A and B are shown apart, each in its own frame.
Chain A
Amino acid sequence: MKRLLFFFLVLVALNLSAQEIVSEQKDVDHLLEEATRAYQSALEISTDEPWKADDLFKRSIQFFQGIVDAGIKNGAIYYNMGNAYFRINDLGKAILYYKKALEFSPGDANLLQNLTYARSKRIDSIQDKEEVKILKTLLFFHFDLSSDVKTLIFVISFVGVWVLAALMIFIHKKVFLNILIGCALVSCFFFVSMTVDQWARANQTQGVILAEEVVARKGDSASFEPSFQEPLHSGTEFIIVEERQDWLQIELNDGRRTWLPRKTLGLLKEI
């Protein structure tokens, strides 16, 4: 009887949790279906009825957001949201969501192409610092390769080091030693590169300007003088240096620092 009782209770618990999972899966399936339908419909009417198309694109964004709110973190969802924001000419949010997608799918060719294209549409042209340009050329393997590729190279070279070291216990050949040193150097480079990436991800908050345009100030209040001759525009990327209530100090790609109202910005960690 006890066995029967125990079996019954386990069955009830399993059934309840399974039902919950199936129901959640159905919900997100439905959201994806609706989001895709809205996006496709918007594309079809975008030439003839652009305003209606905008509404549909916004609708698809809401559905995609619903999927994210349901706890699903997937680069493709953020990428799709970036596309929808791009279609409604919200360049800031498009770039913000593409960058978010990049965290999950760093090597995605479509994502990189769309991000590059969206960046080309920005009004502000902010060049990298000279030192950064030189570093990017010298350490191309750190800046140009995706996390996946770095991981793969690190793992292969790491395995190479230990397999060759093990072989050298039995066979003494200079060529093995040379390859082993090469593998060790490569694995060290990539380990350092990945550690730096991870540190940056954990300690540097990246963001994008969302407002159409915003006057950057020299301090954390609207009463400060503007930092630049021109206002900054949507899509401009930055990293956060300091946070003070409603204002954030940011650093642009060229190393210049300024203050912007928090409301005008989108931060990767907040989406």
Chain B
Amino acid sequence: MKKQTRGFIILFGLCFFFLATSLFAEDISVQAQLSQRNAYVGEAIVYQIQVTGSDSPDQPDLSGFTDFNVSFMGGQNTNQTFQMTVNGQTTRYENKGYVFQYKLIPKGAGNLTVPSIDVKVNGRIFRTGASSVYIQEPVEVDNFKARVSLSKSSCYIGEQIYLSVTLYFGANIQSPIFSVPLLNDDRFHFIPVDQSKSTQKDDLVNIQVNDEEMIMKIAQGTLNGQKYNTLSFSMIVIPRVSGDLVLDKATVSFDGVSGYRNVQDFFGRTVRKEQYSKFVVPSNQARLTSLELPRANRPPGFSGLVGEYKVAAEAYPLEVKVGDPITYTVKLSGGLYMQYDDIPDLNELSAFNENFKIPKDRAPGKIQGSEKLFLHTIRASNKDVKEIPSLEIPCFNTKTGKYEKIVAPAIPIEVEPTATLTYLDVQGEDPEEIKKDVESWKEGIAYNYTGPSVLRSQNAGLSGLTHPAMLLFLIILPLAYLVLLYMFRLRPLIEARRNPVKLALQQVLKNLGNWDESLSSADQYNVLLEQLKYYFGAKFSKKAGALTFADLKPILQSEKTPQELIDEVRSIYEVCEAARYANQGKVGVEEMKTRVINLINQLERGL
């Protein structure tokens, strides 16, 4: 076999090995479990998919679970690590895993099948096993009943009506959970009702409804002539589609008192103790006829208000000059939930825009009690304006079943001409063009961010400071300072302590180099001699100020200094001392300085 062919076979084999090991590197398994095998219609069953061998499976598709309403409760990894030490050698093991949790709410009774599903893990498909669950139809019992009711049995698309879900209980209950699949029905829009404003605080409790907690009201009520305690909540319902709509039943599960048994207390007395059992009770099935809004006679500029709305308006001040601001407030009422309700833009109404200046932007309405207030700042544009015109809002009256116009009556005002002459008036400029400070509009939120920078991961907090480059920079600064300090301050000091002669020599040479030319001749000689004495003082550990040549001579001889250098020392001493008193030396100062430097250098070399 040729060498090249053999090489390619080895290469192919390695590639195959590489792929095979990557595919079968981990031992992966997928299992599905149900929290219970028996349940009632509407009762939640937890469905868990356990993946072992990987902590990054794709979320499975449960759209095939047609017998159940499915809601995803979340997923989390179940990774475990442990160490094992055998013969002193420690080995670290890691078990990867992931769990998906779903809530299944059976839609009907019978033996229902939870189908097998495909779970994609690391590119491979694993299939869970199918299982069955027996679902019973919940049964209403005398003491416990659930009711779903609507404030109207017939309404129009977009109309707001009340939905109430109530549990009637004639005996004590514990841990109630409401399952109201209707709240996830896309045919309706639901808005929670704030019950705290109309109910005593002590009569409010947090109860689980589907996956969320909701504040419910505890009260007393009558059903079929029988008195019960009630636990209820309300929502505003807005139908989105037309037709005869059947609302899904709600169910309530709880532990309720099913009987009593006699027990003996601590003192031996017989007392009656409540016996609790699990109950799941169904509600009635409510129906709603939802009607389309009639297309005929739909007025132009129909605002979308559907209900029994009313509108009123007020303005202040009523006596103004041309251009003065008037606060015009429109009060809309009659809706159960008015967050989305709006009135026409005054700028588009000719009755307003012909006689008034109206800002192009206006604040969104503000809900205050049962009203929604729309504030406008308008200005009369001429003195002939006599009133703020009536405001007509086309809406659909659900009581009469017709399109109608609700009207805020006109408000009379008095407008005087502008009397104040301003600089701009004198200049002949149009008062409409008077420049004003541009004030920021404080209502509303700013725009969203887009673009590639949004997809760049950022670090939170003091990340800039803890970045390695920044830390390095911050550490280098003090280090650089310490290096400079050592080089230019500490090292000379240390060396001076080690070798005072050298330090003195450097000092003398430095002083002679920085010669002060302004000194008198006598002083210059004096300085010269003092430097020489300072040098000898340091060199022979003597007191420099009183060091005469007579003192030096025996020391220099004992150090075996050549005679010519001793003579030179004597000569310098004589010349300098003579010049100090004569104010002029035999030899020039510059020459003496050179001789002193040469002498010191020769002595340093020789001694």
Contacts and interface: CB of A to CB of B under 8 A. Distances in A.
B455 A230 contact: no
B457 A71 contact: yes
Contacts of A213: 194, 196, 215
Given A8-B11, A194-B465, A213-B215, A159 B477 contact: yes
Secondary structure call for the A interface: helix
Contacts of A214: 206, 213, 215
Interface in B425-462: 442-450, 453-462
Given A73-B460, A105-B458, A214-B213, A231 B445 contact: no
Given A50-B340, A79-B449, A198-B462, 16 more contacts: A5-B10, A5-B11, A9-B18, A36-B448, A51-B240, A51-B340, A67-B455, A74-B453, A104-B460, A113-B445, A166-B481, A211-B215, A212-B192, A215-B205, A261-B213, A264-B206
Contacts of B537: none
B458 A162 contact: no
Contacts of B3: 1
A236 B447 CA distance: 24
Nearest to B450: A36
Nearest to A148: B464
A80 interface: yes
A162 B478 CA distance: 6
A197 to B, nearest CB: 7
B455 A169 contact: no
B546 interface: no
9 closest A-B pairs by CB: A76-B449, A110-B446, A50-B340, A103-B460, A162-B477, A76-B454, A114-B445, A51-B189, A104-B458
B489 A169 contact: yes
B474 A155 contact: yes
A43 B105 CA distance: 35
B480 A166 contact: yes
A89 B339 contact: yes
Interface string B199-240: 001101110000011010000000000000000000000101
Given A74-B457, A151-B465, A194-B465, A48 B213 contact: no
A239 interface: no
A32 B3 CA distance: 53
A12 to B, nearest CB: 7
A36 B451 CA distance: 10
A222 B201 contact: no
23 contacts: A1-B3, A9-B14, A32-B455, A36-B450, A39-B448, A51-B238, A76-B454, A83-B446, A104-B459, A104-B460, A147-B464, A148-B464, A155-B470, A155-B474, A169-B485, A197-B461, A198-B461, A201-B461, A215-B204, A231-B196, A231-B215, A261-B206, A264-B213
A238 interface: no
A72 B446 contact: no
Contact of A162 (B189, B339, B481): B481
A151 B484 CA distance: 27
Contact of B205 (A9, A151, A222): A222
Interface string B294-309: 0000000000100000
B455 A117 contact: no
A215 B206 contact: yes
Nearest to A264: B213
Nearest to A46: B340
Nearest to A39: B448
Contacts of B453: 74, 76
Nearest to A80: B448
A163 B212 CA distance: 60
A179 B303 CA distance: 67
